[in-house]
């Protein structure tokens, strides 16, 4: 049983944090893509109804 030194612990923390922020960034990108596509669907549906 041993405690990592502060530098090692900070490195590990940085890796964990960067990974987590990467996942969060992916979630926000995915949401933006979804909203854009849903807007496209709405306008295509409206155009379809107008015909």
Partner 1 sequence: MIFNVIVGIWITLGLTLGFAMPPAENLVATPLAFLHVPMAFGMEMALFGAAIYGGLWLKRRRSGDDAMSLALAETGFVFGIIATITGSLWAKLNWGAYWNWDPQQTGIVATLLTYAALFALRSAAEDEEKSRDLWAVYAIFGFIAAIFWTFIFRRLMGSLHPEKTTVTSSGIFKFALWFNILGYTLLVVRIAQVRARLERAARRLKEITWNNSI
Residues that bind partner 1 (CB under 8 A): 1-4, 8-9, 12-13, 15-17, 19-20, 23-24, 26-28, 30-31, 33-34, 37-38, 40-41, 44-45, 48
Q: Report the SS3 class of residue 2.
A: coil
Query: What is the nearest approach in angstroms of partner 1 to the Cβ of residue 47?
Result: 9
Q: Return d(Cα 41, Cα 47) in angstroms, integer.
A: 10
CA 24, 22, 12: angle at the middle one, nearest 5? 115
Q: What are the two backbone dihedrals, phi and then psi, of residue 17, each rounded to the nearest 5 degrees?
A: -65, -45
Query: What is the nearest approach in angstroms of partner 1 to the Cβ of residue 30?
Result: 5
Query: What is the nearest approach in angstroms of partner 1 to the Cβ of residue 50?
Result: 12
């Amino acid at each position: 049983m041993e405690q990592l030194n502060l530098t090692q612990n900070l490195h590990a923390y940085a890796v964990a944090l960067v990974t987590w922020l990467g996942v969060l960034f992916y979630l926000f990108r995915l949401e933006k893509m979804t909203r854009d596509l849903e807007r496209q669907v709405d306008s295509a549906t409206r155009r379809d109804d107008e015909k």
